[in-house]
């Protein structure tokens, strides 16, 4: 069973593109913000990674855009880590609108990390 972390965000005017919805690269920015918040909430701040000589380097993104997000929309970026291996890990995301029955507006995943040996044994229990 995985622990889900939810990161709330309100779409700002500066995130709106020429098509009047949130630009695609902002979804990636929201993913990064949610991942950092999730890790930090579990005691793994950027500073702690640096002290251990560890860190996350994204090797790939897989994004499925399901609905646009507009200025003023309240969204939730839900994230979880499904596995951590010596040289890779898989972090998942769902971006949901903030309604009584949330609707998914994006489905995303990333692969990658840069970690010293044994790091996954320390980190996996708190990020699952």
Q: What is the CATH number of the domain that holds 54?
A: 3.10.129.10
pLDDT at residue number 42: 87
Q: Which residue has the higher pLDDT, 101 or 25?
A: 25
- Cα dihedral value 82, 67, 28, 48, nearest 10: -40
63: confidence class by pLDDT, cuts 50, 70, 90: confident
Domain membership of residue 95 as a residue range: 5-127
Domains of the chain: total: 1
In terms of pTM, does the model score above 0.85? no
Query: Which among 7, 33, 8, 11 is positioned nearest to 22, based on CA atoms?
Result: 11
* Predicted local confidence at residue 128, as pLDDT: 47
Mean pLDDT across the chain, nearest whole number?
Answer: 81
Q: Which residues contact 39 (CB under 8 A, 6 or more apart)?
A: 45, 49, 127
Q: What is the mean pLDDT of residues 51-66?
A: 82
Residues 69 and 105: beta-carbon distance below 8 Å = yes
Residue 78 has φ and ψ, to the nearest 5°, of: -95, 130
């Amino acid at each position: 069973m995985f622990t889900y972390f939810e990161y709330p965000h309100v779409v700002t005017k500066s995130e709106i593109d020429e098509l009047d919805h949130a630009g695609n690269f902002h979804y990636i920015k929201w993913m990064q913000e949610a991942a950092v918040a999730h890790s930090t909430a579990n005691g793994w701040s950027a500073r702690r990674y640096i002290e251990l000589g560890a860190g996350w380097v994204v090797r790939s993104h897989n994004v499925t855009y399901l609905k646009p997000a507009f200025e003023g929309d309240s969204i939730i970026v839900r994230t979880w880590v499904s596995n951590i291996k010596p040289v890779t890990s898989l972090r998942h995301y769902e971006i949901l609108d903030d309604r009584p029955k949330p609707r998914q507006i994006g489905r995303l995943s990333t692969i990658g990390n840069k970690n010293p040996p044994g790091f996954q044994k320390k980190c996996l229990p708190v990020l699952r």
